[in-house]
């Protein structure tokens, strides 16, 4: 199938890091004629307009949606249910609706509840790409290049709508894969949501310790491990709550693993500790080889 796509008018609801980056790349590759943006605050929207990320700033969701052929929800997950209700009031039968939220089951359910007869034209998506920075000023034209985007369409999803969203992301340079929303939430709970919780928890716990000099001795490993604790707190609060079930399963399993390691340290079981560390190193080196190599070259 050809990946070339030309969308006449796209509405991006929430022109921040992800929405702004999508707007930049679609414009650069000529995949869209006009980008309409809508933000919660006038300041963010005006900044997106001033930076040339969007062509038109809508004052309301209704104004954005009624002008669009494709609507992309790119706000924090917690804002999406009410925005989907607002979208439902204005959306026409031919419009394709998608989102970029980091949790898929709860958003699919909210879309089903809100969109009614338009629900089959909603194609949930999640670009597995990002950064710890927020807002349109952090948007990057190459944010999605070579990255994966996961689509989790329902079984009765409109095939033409799925093709539009797939080709939109391909135009942005991403590799598109499909899976169920449940599978997505299970996997991302382990590889994204759990690590963010651990990073936030570690930094907060250290910051609460009764001595001010701990961070003075933080080296590269600490920076690597905690970089994602600089991510937007509101975004991650929403993700944790929305993927509560899967995240709690992973957290509980992980607490057990940490407890086991504490036991091995306490009993000075060096052989077992070595086995775990070797297993972890082998798994990381095997599964994330390019990133390990590129860091080692620095």
Which residues lie near ligand NAP (CB under 6 A)? 13-19, 39-41, 44, 74-77, 79, 83, 100-102, 126-127, 130-131, 134-135, 232, 235, 239
CA 21 – CA 135 distance, rounded (Å): 10
Cβ at position 170, least distance to ligand NAP in Å: 17
**10 Cβ partners below 8 Å, 6+ apart?**
23, 26, 32, 34, 35, 36, 68, 69, 70, 71, 72
Rounded least distance, CB 101 to ligand NAP, Å? 4
State how far the Cα of 29 lies from the Cα of 202, in Å rounded to an integer: 41
Nearer to ligand NAP, 131 or 251 (CB): 131
Q: Pick from 172, 173, 135, 133: which is nearest to 50 by CA?
A: 135
Alpha helical stretches, state H, the chain: 17-28, 42-50, 61-66, 80-90, 105-115, 159-171, 181-188, 194-207, 220-226, 233-242, 244-266, 270-287, 289-297
Shorter beta-carbon distance to ligand NAP: residue 102 or 166: 102
What interhelical angle do 105-115 and 181-188 show, nearest 10?
A: 140
Q: Report the residue number, 83 or 199, with the smaller CB distance to ligand NAP.
A: 83
**Look-up: residue for tokens 């199938």?**
1
Nearer to ligand NAP, 17 or 162 (CB): 17
> Whose Cβ is closer to ligand NAP: residue 14's or residue 124's?
14
Minimum CB separation of residue 131 from ligand NAP in Å reads 5
SS3 category, 43: helix
DSSP labels, 181-222: HHHHHHHHIIIIIHHHHHHHHHHHHHHTSS-TTGGGG--HHH
120/140 with CB nearer ligand NAP: 140
Question: What's the closest the beta carbon of residue 275 comes to ligand NAP, in angstroms?
Answer: 34
Shortest approach of ligand NAP to residue 277 CB, angstroms?
A: 29
Q: Which is nearer to ligand NAP, 78 or 112 (CB)?
A: 78
Write the secondary structure of 156-175 as one string of H (helix), E (strand) and C (coil). Answer: CCCHHHHHHHHHHHHHCCCE
User: Of 166 and 231, which CB lies nearer to ligand NAP in the complex structure?
Assistant: 231
Question: What minimum distance in Å lies between the beta carbon of 111 and ligand NAP?
Answer: 13
Cα–chain center distance at 165 = 16
Token pair 């707190």 in the structure block, residue? 233
- For residue 252, the minimal CB distance to ligand NAP (Å) is 23
Instruction: Give min distance, CB of 178 to ligand NAP, in A.
Output: 17
């Amino acid at each position: 199938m050809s990946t070339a796509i030309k969308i006449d008018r796209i509405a991006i609801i929430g022109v921040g890091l992800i929405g702004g980056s999508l707007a930049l790349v679609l414009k650069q590759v000529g995949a869209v004629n006009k980008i309409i943006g809508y933000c919660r605050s006038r300041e963010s929207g005006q900044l997106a307009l001033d930076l040339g990320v969007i062509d038109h700033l809508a004052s309301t969701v209704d104004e954005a949606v009624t002008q669009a052929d494709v609507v992309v929800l790119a706000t924090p997950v917690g804002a999406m249910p009410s925005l989907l209700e607002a979208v439902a009031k204005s959306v026409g039968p031919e419009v394709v609706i998608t989102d970029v939220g980091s949790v898929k089951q709860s958003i699919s359910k909210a879309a089903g509840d809100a969109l009614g007869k338009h629900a089959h034209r909603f194609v949930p998506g999640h670009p597995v790409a990002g950064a710890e920075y927020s807002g349109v000023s952090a948007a990057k034209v190459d944010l999605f290049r070579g990255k994966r985007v996961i689509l989790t369409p329902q079984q009765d999803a409109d095939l033409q709508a799925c093709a539009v969203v797939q080709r939109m992301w391909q135009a942005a340079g991403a590799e598109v894969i499909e899976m169920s929303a449940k599978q997505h939430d299970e996997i991302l709970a382990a590889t994204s949501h759990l690590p963010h919780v651990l990073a936030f928890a570690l930094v907060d716990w250290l910051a609460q310790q009764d001595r001010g000099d701990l961070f003075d001795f933080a080296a590269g490993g600490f920076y690597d491990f905690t970089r994602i604790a600089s991510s937007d707190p509101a975004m991650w609060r929403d993700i944790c709550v929305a993927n509560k079930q899967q995240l709690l399963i992973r957290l509980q399993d992980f607490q057990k693993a940490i407890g086991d390691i504490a036991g091995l340290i306490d009993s000075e079981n060096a052989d077992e500790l070595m086995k775990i560390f070797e297993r972890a190193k082998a798994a990381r080196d095997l599964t994330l080889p390019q990133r390990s190599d590129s860091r080692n070259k620095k």
